[in-house]
Amino acid sequence: MVWKPSEKEEEYFVRMEFERKKKLEEEKQTKLAAKEKKKLQDLHHMKCPKCGMDLIEMGYKNIRIDKCSGCEGVWLDAGELETVSQLEKAGLDKLFGVFRK
């Protein structure tokens, strides 16, 4: 006797197959998104967000500021604005002296 799946069983297997492929597809998309993100990071790392030229890292005390070699814009990393805001007036003046054009 040949075993013949019932319609319900067939439906179940089709759905399982779809779910399996969907999961594979989602994994592929996640990998692709991660790859794309890495590509963008590599492309933009230490590049000025305004003009695209290279940023030069300059350190003053514990503050590391990235200054653009093109437009001379100054960029701060996360938390650095708070550190700058805690400087005394004299420290601020010195900082501005370092990064002034």
Q: What residue ranges bind Zn ion (CB under 5 A)?
A: 48, 50-51, 53, 68, 70-71, 73
Compute the least distance from the CB of residue 66 to Zn ion, in Å.
Answer: 10
Of 55 and 63, CB closest to Zn ion: 55
Tell me the residue number closest to Zn ion, measured at CB: 48
Quote the CA–CA distance of 29 and 2 in Å, as a whole number. 41
How do 55-60 and 63-68 pair as beta strands? Answer: antiparallel
Residue among 53 and 95 whose Cβ is closer to Zn ion: 53
State the amino acid at position 7 in one-letter form. E
- The HSE-up count of residue 24 (CA atoms within 13 Å, CB side) is 6
Q: Please, which residue, 72 or 91, has the CB nearer to Zn ion?
A: 72
Do 26 and 20 form a contact (C-beta atoms < 8 A)?
no
CB of 29 to Zn ion, least distance (A): 34
